[in-house]
Structures are given as C-alpha cells and as structure tokens.
C-alpha cells in the first residue's frame, strides 16, 4: 500500500474533511441569521485540489461560488478534548477555498454532498504554517478575485473560536491525524465564472503565511442524468446567497412586504383608528405600551426586524456583549423599510441604542427603531431624521442592565408580542403591531372610519348633540350616507 502523500501540501491524505457552515460574524450578518451553535458538513477527500489546479464549472450551471477559509490540519488524534487543550491537537494551518455549486444546493438540504463534494472543489495550500508558531486568535484570511481583494476576515471575528470547534467535534467523533477542518468564510464570498482566477491567503499579519492558493475557473462537462439524481436548478434566493447580495447578483430590490399603496394608507391613518379596527377583529393586545417618539409628530410605518436583550449577567456580557454582538449585527443588517424592534423588558435604566447606531439605521434605509428601553444621546438621536420610539432618555450603556443576545425571533416589546415581518405603525398616540395578513383590510376600514368620524365632528361643531350622532343611529346614518353619495356625485 502506497504511503506517498495524495496532496502536495498535506503530509497525509485526510480521512475526513469537516467544514463549518457559518462561523464568522460578518458572514452571519450578511446572511441575516446567526447560529447559536456551530454546525458542520463533510467533504470527501476526493474533492481535494492543489494550488494552481483548475476548478470546473459544469456546462449548464451558473452559480459556482468561492469561499476563502482557514484550514486546520490535525496532528494528533482528538477525542473528547476540552477547549483549553484543543489547539494542541492542531499541527498546521493553511489556506483553503470551499468551492460550491449553488445550482445543486437546493436538493442537498444542508448536507452539501453534491454542490461542495465535487472533484477539485477543496483546494488547500500551498504552504503549511506551524500551528505552534501562531496565535489562533490572531490569524487572517484574504481572498482576491482577478487581483481584487474581495474577502478579509480575522479570527477575532469568529462566532465560534477554533478551540470550541475542535472540542465540539471531538465530543462526537475522533479527529484523526491528517484530518482537515475548514473553519468557515467571512463576508464577501461570491460567484466566479470561467476565466476568473481566485486566490486565498492565510497569515498571521507580520508573521508566517500560507502563500496564495490559486484556482482558475474553467468550463467543465455537464451531462447530469435525471434518471439517477436531481438536475441543476437555480432561483433568485440561490443567486442572492451565492453572489452575497441581490445587488451583486443583478437582481431587482426585494419587493417590500408593505406595498406603496398600503404604506400610503397607513401613513394617512392614525394609530388610534387602526387600534379600533384591530379590536373589532378580536385583537386587543397589539399595543406596544409606554413609548413616545423622540420627536413629537413623528409617524412610523415599517416591517419588524427583532432584537432581544436579556438581563445583564457579567459572565454573559463578557461573552456576548463585546465585539460584533447581536445589537451591532441587527443595525448592520436592517433593510430598507424595516423597523428594528427591541425587547428590553421595559427596563428604562439603560440605553438600548445611541446616536451611532441611529445613524447606521438611517444609512441602511430603516423605517425606524422601537424599544421598550431607553435611548442614549437622546437629543442627538432626536435630531436624526429617523423615527425612534422609546421609554425615554438614559445615559448608561448596555452593560448596566442588558446583554445583547439574539435577533430574528419572536419577542415581547412593551407588553406586545412582535414577530419578524409584523407591520409596525406609530404616532403620538403610541405604537401598534398589525399582522401582515389583515393589514390592508384594517387600513381600509380605518380610513373609512376616519371619513365618518370627520363628518360626525363637523355635525357636533355645528351644534348637534352627540346623543344619536356618536355613534350614529339609523336617522343619522341615513343622513351620512346621503351626504356621502352627494359628495361622490359632485366629485364625479
């Protein structure tokens, strides 16, 4: 049996290649979802390639995506190791490119067998860095597409440090000598086409480097047989995720959940009228209570993007409060027309955002911010052209009362349940939550009621008593309908 290396950069042919789905904060923010724990998939050793090797994009496909990553090569077997000793089981560090064919991704359902397991789709190298010579928390990965830097990530940006990944894997399986772990890609991964050259380098800035791992994309044969497996297929979601954004993929902006027509109706309708219509439909618990706008006269209409704070605990704040935490990710990821809704448990004794984050939300096109906590830099935030509703000002930072914990889940804010995608409307009377499925119906009914109420107010102003008029009895209802019909004919 031959003992010769199967790869010019690796001392052993790996028994397994384990890849992390998402591990960089920047990638999680780009995708708009952050994992609570690491998750993995396997790549076959037959997918290994070396620097300078070509990468094939099969005929009839379009979404061949590169992902520059740091690769760890196991030196001594690891089984049920603690995080504190995990790094001692790594012998080398090098560059890798976790190529994937998104045309085959949909039917893999997370396993990535077909889209990432193809021959040549795991180039590593060209040089190995001695793991003993570097600090695993001070490494960097960079990717160039045709000479232009498109990815740059550091291990300080990791959601899950290498020690956690190794320890977690080792509690489920034995990591053997020569095994390779691909540790995830930072933001900026995108699509390459035949003729493109992609280079990846891992280094300790100012220290050792893997050198540039080079891959050239070429056309390859297709010939997928529908009789034995699924055929390549793509949709706009796969295009967006492969390219990194809708804009990069050449796609139009996502259709707003709130159509322009509905938005106009909601802007013209007072919250009190909307609340009345929701109550008629059995929805009494939709008010986010105790909030006021930083600027009186503000009107807010948007779609909820949720953020949750938990009560401060010093150890948890150390692990979740600093760096690229959930709060920063929410403000970096908010989309045009969305409202960041923050669960702060009604705690007024700390700010939940300040002027910098308000400016970030404004730059991203957010519709506003709603928090049942406090706001720092209150006067400055009030001067920013961004609707913000809160419990009022407070000078303290998060760590006094809160730990920013997670995003994109159902939360409680001001006594109301808020789900991502709910419609949020606010004015001087308060803030309410409208289920999207009935928003159009509620807005139309509220506008009709506003017209009716305005006519009633005119009658009261003319000296009529409210008895029988508010609410209208049959006699007044007939007068109102006659007046409405006359006004309609006059307008026609």
Q: Among 343, 388, 348, which residue's Cα sits nearest to residue 369?
A: 388
In contact, 351 and 345? CB cutoff 8 Å: no
Count Cα neighbours of 182 within 13 Å in the Cβ-side half-sphere.
Answer: 33
Cα–Cα distance for residue pair 78/173, rounded to 1 Å:
9
Q: Is the pTM of this model over 0.85?
A: no
Give me 388's structure tokens.
Answer: 């913000």
Cα–Cα distance for residue pair 161/412, rounded to 1 Å:
31
Q: What is the pLDDT of residues 27-56, one digit of tens each?
A: 888 777 788 889 999 999 999 999 999 999
Rg (CA), the chain: 29
The confidence score (pLDDT) of residue 426 equals: 97
Feature table: binding site for Mg(2+) = 377
The confidence score (pLDDT) of residue 4 equals: 43
Q: Among 182, 201, 190, 225, which residue's Cα sits nearest to residue 47?
A: 182
Residue stretches of the chain with pLDDT short of 70? 1-6, 109, 254-256, 491-492
The confidence score (pLDDT) of residue 320 equals: 86
Q: Which residues contact 311 (CB under 8 A, 6 or more apart)?
A: 345, 347, 401, 402, 403
Query: Within 321-438, where are the H helices?
Result: 326-333, 355-363, 378-382
Feature table: binding site for substrate = 354-357, 376
The confidence score (pLDDT) of residue 488 equals: 75
Report all structural domains of the chain as residue ranges with CATH numbers, in order of start. 17-243 (3.90.850.10), 284-434 (3.50.30.40)
Feature table: binding site = 354-357, 376-377
């Amino acid at each position: 049996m031959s003992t010769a290396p199967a790869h010019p950069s690796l001392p052993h042919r790996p028994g397994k290649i384990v890849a992390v789905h998402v591990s960089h904060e920047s990638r999680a923010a780009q995708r708009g979802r952050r994992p609570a724990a690491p998750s993995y998939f396997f790549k076959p050793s037959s997918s290994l390639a070396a620097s300078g090797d070509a990468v094939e994009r099969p005929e009839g496909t379009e979404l061949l995506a590169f992902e520059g990553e740091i690769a760890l090569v196991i030196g001594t077997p690891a089984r049920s190791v603690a995080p504190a000793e995990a790094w001692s089981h790594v012998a080398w560090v090098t560059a890798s490119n976790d190529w994937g064919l998104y045309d085959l991704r949909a039917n893999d359902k997370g396993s990535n067998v077909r889209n990432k397991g193809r021959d040549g789709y795991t180039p590593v190298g060209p040089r190995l860095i001695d793991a003993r010579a570097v600090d695993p928390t001070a490494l960097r990965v960079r990717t160039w597409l045709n000479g232009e830097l498109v990815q740059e990530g550091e291990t300080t940006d990791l959601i899950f440090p290498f020690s956690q990944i190794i320890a977690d894997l080792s509690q489920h399986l034995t990591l053997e000598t020569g095994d390779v772990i691909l540790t995830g890609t930072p933001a900026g991964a995108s699509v390459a086409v035949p003729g493109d050259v992609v280079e990846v380098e891992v280094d300790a800035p100012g220290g050792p480097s893997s050198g540039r791992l080079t891959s050239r994309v070429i056309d390859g044969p297709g010939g997928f047989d529908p009789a034995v497996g699924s055929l390549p297929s793509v949709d706009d979601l796969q295009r967006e995720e492969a390219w990194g954004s809708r804009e990069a993929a050449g796609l139009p902006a996502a259709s707003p959940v709130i159509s322009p027509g509905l938005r106009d109706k909601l802007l013209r309708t007072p919250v009190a009228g909307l609340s009345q219509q929701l109550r008629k439909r059995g929805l009494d618990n939709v008010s986010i209570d105790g909030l006021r706008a930083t600027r009186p006269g503000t009107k807010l209409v948007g779609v909820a993007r949720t953020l949750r704070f938990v009560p401060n605990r010093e150890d948890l704040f150390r692990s979740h409060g600093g760096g690229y935490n959930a709060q920063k990710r929410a403000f970096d990821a908010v989309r045009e027309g969305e409202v960041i809704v923050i669960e702060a448990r009604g705690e007024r004794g700390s700010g939940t955002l300040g002027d910098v984050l308000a400016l970030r939300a404004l730059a991203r096109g957010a519709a506003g911010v709603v928090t049942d906590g406090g706001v720092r830099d209150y006067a400055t935030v009030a001067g920013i052209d961004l609707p913000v509703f809160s419990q009022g000002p407070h000078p303290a930072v998060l760590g006094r009362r809160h730990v920013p914990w997670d995003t994109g889940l159902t939360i409680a804010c001001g006594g109301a349940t808020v789900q991502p995608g709910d419609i949020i409307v606010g004015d001087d009377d308060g803030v309410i939550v409208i289920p999207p499925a009935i928003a159009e119906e509620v807005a139309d009914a509220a506008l009709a009621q506003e017209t009716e109420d305005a006519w009633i107010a005119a009658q009261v102003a003319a000296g009529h008593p409210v008895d029988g008029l508010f609410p209208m009895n049959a006699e007044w209802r007939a007068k109102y309908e006659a007046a409405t019909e006359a006004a309609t004919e006059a307008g026609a």
